[in-house]
């Protein structure tokens, strides 16, 4: 008999909720506007009400568990901590305790990148793997590190900030206040910056395309546009270096990448594999795969959250 879990993906604008079967099929999905709620209480009640309606509609009486992927999500306290940058509610949101009380099932909560890693392990390409790294490329660069089949959380739950590994000490200014973090070259914004610099090299007087987006750079790279390909080559160079260093630390079987910038596919992956291998210590050469996530892009966040709610 199939089992089910509930995945909740919390973003600043939307809260997506899905009921997910153990084979990874999303049998029901709904969402509510995160930014419409002023207080943690009204927000949590809205989520619980929505879950109950979804359970009723699917004639499910119970689920294995509930998983939540959230910015600033703390897996130890099972809540979203105070003053989360892009959330309107600034007090802590103790969703774990609240939903456990409402539904009587285990509730796990973690940050989005850790949820993505568990999603890949339960439903995606990391099934059966005990050592891998998930890298999420987007507005920022997040990472989830799995060692011995468990997420690495660190002493304060802050492990896995590979986006802020410094790859170039004299490099670009990062939002964290330091210079040359991986994120400044491999996030969506970083890729746009790579594009601007590459364009300036070939056409010093050229105007930047209006409303330059990472999606535009990715699509141009896929069409073979040399400037966009160079922008991705720059990303691949820094990413390859950072990932080769990460391998020396946890010796994963594979490194997975997900997020908008990976839509460029081979325009990113081909140079990335090359730079990665070039930088690897001889012990690891040819032994670590660099792969795209096998979760469907639009479902990845819900599947990741739902995976946290399973007995992985």
Nearest approach, Cβ of 237 to Zn ion (angstroms)? Answer: 18
The residue with tokens 């399973």 is 310
Q: How far is the CB of 177 from Zn ion (least distance, A)?
A: 7
For the record, the structure tokens of 15 come out as 């809260």
Q: Which two tokens stand for residue 303?
A: 């599947």
Q: How far is the CB of 167 from Zn ion (least distance, A)?
A: 10
Taking residue 45's Cβ as centre, other Cβ atoms within 10 Å add up to 14
3-state secondary structure of 310: coil
Q: Which is nearer to Zn ion, 181 or 247 (CB)?
A: 181
102, 55, 105, 131 alpha-carbon torsion, rounded to 10°? -130
Task: Give me the least distance between CB of 126 and Zn ion, in Å please.
Answer: 26
> What burial letters (b/e) apply to 125-157, b meaning 16+ CB within 10 Å?
bbeebebbbbbbbbebbbbbbbbeeebbbeeeb
For Zn ion, the binding residue among 32, 152, 176, 291 (CB under 5 A) is: 176
CA distance linking residue 53 with residue 37, whole number of Å: 19
Residue keyed to tokens 């896995």: 160
Stretch near Zn ion under the rule CB under 5 A, chosen from 128-136, 172-180, 239-247, 279-287: 172-180
Residue range at the interface with Zn ion (CB under 5 A); choices 107-115, 168-176, 235-243, 289-297: 168-176
- Select the span of 33-41, 53-61, 160-168, 283-291 touching Zn ion (CB under 5 A): 160-168
> Looking at 17, 95, 122, 181, which residue binds Zn ion (CB under 5 A)?
181
Q: How far is 10 from 17, CA to CA, in rounded Å?
A: 9
**Residue 123 CA neighbour count, 13 Å, CB half:** 28
Pairing of strands 26-33, 14-21: antiparallel
Which token pair is 86?
């892009």
Q: Is 162 in the site for Zn ion (CB under 5 A)?
A: no
40 binds Zn ion (CB under 5 A): no
Kindly state the number of chain residues that form the binding site for Zn ion, as judged by CB under 5 A.
4
Work out which of 88, 131, 153, 164 binds Zn ion, going by CB under 5 A.
164
Identify which of residues 183 and 230 has a Cβ nearer to Zn ion in the complex: 183
Tell the smallest beta-carbon distance from residue 171 to Zn ion (Å). Answer: 10
Residue 174 binding Zn ion, by CB under 5 A = yes
Contact set with Zn ion (CB under 5 A): 164, 174, 176, 181
């Amino acid at each position: 008999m199939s089992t089910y879990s509930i995945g909740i993906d919390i973003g600043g604008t939307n809260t997506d909720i899905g009921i997910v079967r153990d084979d990874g099929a999303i049998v029901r999905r709904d969402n509510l506007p995160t930014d419409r709620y002023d207080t943690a209480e009204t927000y949590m009640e809205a989520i619980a009400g929505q879950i109950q309606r979804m359970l009723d509609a699917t004639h499910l009486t119970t689920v294995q568990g509930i998983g939540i992927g959230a910015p600033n999500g703390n897996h130890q306290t099972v809540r979203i901590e105070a003053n989360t940058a892009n959330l309107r509610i600034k007090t802590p949101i103790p969703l774990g305790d609240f939903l456990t009380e409402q539904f009587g099932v285990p509730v796990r909560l973690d940050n989005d990148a850790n949820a993505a890693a568990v999603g890949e392990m339960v439903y995606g390409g990391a099934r059966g793997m005990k050592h891998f790294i998930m890298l999420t490329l987007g507005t920022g660069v997040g990472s989830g590190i799995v060692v011995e089949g468990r997420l690495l959380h660190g002493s304060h739950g802050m492990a896995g900030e590979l986006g802020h590994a410094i790859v170039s000490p004299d490099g670009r200014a990062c939002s964290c206040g330091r210079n040359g973090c991986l994120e400044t070259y491999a996030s969506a914004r970083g890729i746009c910056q790579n594009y601007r610099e590459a364009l300036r090299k070939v056409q010093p007087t050229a105007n930047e395309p209006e409303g330059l987006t990472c999606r535009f750079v990715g699509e141009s790279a896929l069409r073979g546009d040399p400037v966009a390909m160079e922008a991705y080559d720059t990303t691949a160079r820094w990413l390859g270096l950072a990932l080769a260093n990460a391998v020396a630390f946890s010796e994963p079987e594979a490194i997975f990448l997900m997020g908008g910038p990976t839509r460029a596919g081979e325009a990113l992956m081909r140079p990335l594999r090359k730079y990665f291998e070039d930088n690897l210590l001889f012990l690891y050469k040819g032994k670590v795969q660099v792969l795209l996530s096998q979760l469907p892009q639009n479902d990845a966040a819900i599947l990741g959250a739902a995976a946290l709610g399973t007995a992985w």
